[in-house]
């Protein structure tokens, strides 16, 4: 909790005596105004941020898929015993179970964040009765905000898909790709080229998206860092199927984040909503590969720091960092050293552990304590004043 300082009632008499001694020559109305001003309860946090309700103009949610406390700890140790998460002043925990299982998957977990409902494992933007539920990204778009998605998975994978699509199964990748034609997303960067240009239905979504005003390109055509974004909407596909790992040379998450923030800032007048996923921390957990987890976390940590710096300079941005679930039951065991971790796993699937939440910016005070994962959706909306 952030500490606050206010004028307490027991100090009132002392304050009045002081004021009487220094205002003997001041006319009565001015004296009353002075007392009123000084006695107002105006809480101020230790770091200078007001604790009064503030409205965010922008919301950025950063999701480290599969990132529990073990993954954070291992990544922190390997990163010189430090992580940018330490700079976030508000920390909480969310309960991540699905509607049909104590152990959630990414689809149900991301749908909880995006749509505010508990649903079954495998569901994309639908409730347990298969009914589509509006996401916060879709609502943002309809309220005039710009929207963006960045992921180190395919852009049609469970987590990003839950923010723009509605499907009974996370495996229906080509159907999910079609929903990007609905024009809710202004900028997207992620893998999955084959779901757009080599489909079973022979549709070429590149051409269809271009007809809707998108500037579409991919890794095969040009490097992301060399792309000049000129369109009102932008899509970049980073791989044909799933992107490479960090250890294999993938390095686009930080530049993609900075490019997306620049795009959204330049084009938004009412604010923006952005989801960024470090997808492959989860895949390292499924593989029971500690090095995979650590390197993906270190990559994500750079983005966590860059987004925080953006938010500090902007002053109107809420940043939330969390995970959909923990993967692998990852532990740092006895015998570990800073340069040599001894690790263990309890499973090659997800676990039901509560997940940490880190927050900064307007509305961040809501994110302390323990709550359901669906509350993250509600708290982001509250921060935006909806």
Average pLDDT for the chain:
89
Burial class (CB in 10 A: 0-12, 13-18, 19+), 337: exposed
Over residues 171-198, mean pLDDT: 97
Token reading at 91 = 């920390």
**Residue 209: enclosing H or E segment and its boundaries?**
helix 205-211
Burial class (CB in 10 A: 0-12, 13-18, 19+), 220: exposed
C-alpha 130/C-alpha 168 separation (Å) is 6
* Residues 287-319 pLDDT 10s: 999 999 999 999 999 999 999 999 999 999 999
Active site residue 24: no
pLDDT value for 159: 98
Torsion, Cα of 154, 239, 244, 79 (10° steps)? -70
What backbone phi and psi angles, to 5 degrees, belong to 322? -160, -170
Contact 317, 305 (CB under 8 A): no
> Catalytic pick from 12, 24, 99, 106?
106
Would the pLDDT of 161 be above 50?
yes
pTM of full prediction above 0.75: yes
Over residues 186-207, mean pLDDT: 98
* Residues 32-86 pLDDT 10s: 433 343 334 333 344 424 344 689 999 999 999 999 999 999 999 999 999 999 9
């Amino acid at each position: 909790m952030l500490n606050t300082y206010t004028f307490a009632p027991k100090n009132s008499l002392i304050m009045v005596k002081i004021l009487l001694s220094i205002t003997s020559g001041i006319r009565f109305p001015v004296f009353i105004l002075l007392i009123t001003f000084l006695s107002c309860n105006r809480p101020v946090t230790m770091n200078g941020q007001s604790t009064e309700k503030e409205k965010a103009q922008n919301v950025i949610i950063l999701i480290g898929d599969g990132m529990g406390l073990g993954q954070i700890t291992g990544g922190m140790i390997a990163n010189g015993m430090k992580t940018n998460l330490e700079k976030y002043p508000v920390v909480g925990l969310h309960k991540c179970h699905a509607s049909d299982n104590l152990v959630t998957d990414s689809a149900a977990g991301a749908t909880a964040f995006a749509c505010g409902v508990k649903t079954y494992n495998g569901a994309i933007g639908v409730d347990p009765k298969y009914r589509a539920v509006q996401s916060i990204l879709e609502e943002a778009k309809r309220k005039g905000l710009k929207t963006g998605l960045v992921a180190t998975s395919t852009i049609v994978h469970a987590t990003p898909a839950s923010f723009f699509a509605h499907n009974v199964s996370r495996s229906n990748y080509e159907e999910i790709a079609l929903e990007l034609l609905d024009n809710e997303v202004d900028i997207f960067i992620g893998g999955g080229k084959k779901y757009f240009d080599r489909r079973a239905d022979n549709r070429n979504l590149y051409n269809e998206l271009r007809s809707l005003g998108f500037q579409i390109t991919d890794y095969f055509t040009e490097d992301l860092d060399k792309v000049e974004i000129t369109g009102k909407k932008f899509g970049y596909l980073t791989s044909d199927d799933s992107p490479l790992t960090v250890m294999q040379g993938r390095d686009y998450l930080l530049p993609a984040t900075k490019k997306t923030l620049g795009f959204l800032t330049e084009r938004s007048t009412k604010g923006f909503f952005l989801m960024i996923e470090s997808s492959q921390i989860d895949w390292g957990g499924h593989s029971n590969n500690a090095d995979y987890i650590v390197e993906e976390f270190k990559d994500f940590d750079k983005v966590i720091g860059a987004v925080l710096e953006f938010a500090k300079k902007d002053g109107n941005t809420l940043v939330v960092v969390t995970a959909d679930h923990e993967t692998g039951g990852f532990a740092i065991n006895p015998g570990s050293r800073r340069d040599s971790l001894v690790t263990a796993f309890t499973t090659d699937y997800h676990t039901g552990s509560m997940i940490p939440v880190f927050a900064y910016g307007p509305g961040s005070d809501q994110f302390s304590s323990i709550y359901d994962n669906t509350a993250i959706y509600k708290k982001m909306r509250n921060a935006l004043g909806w």
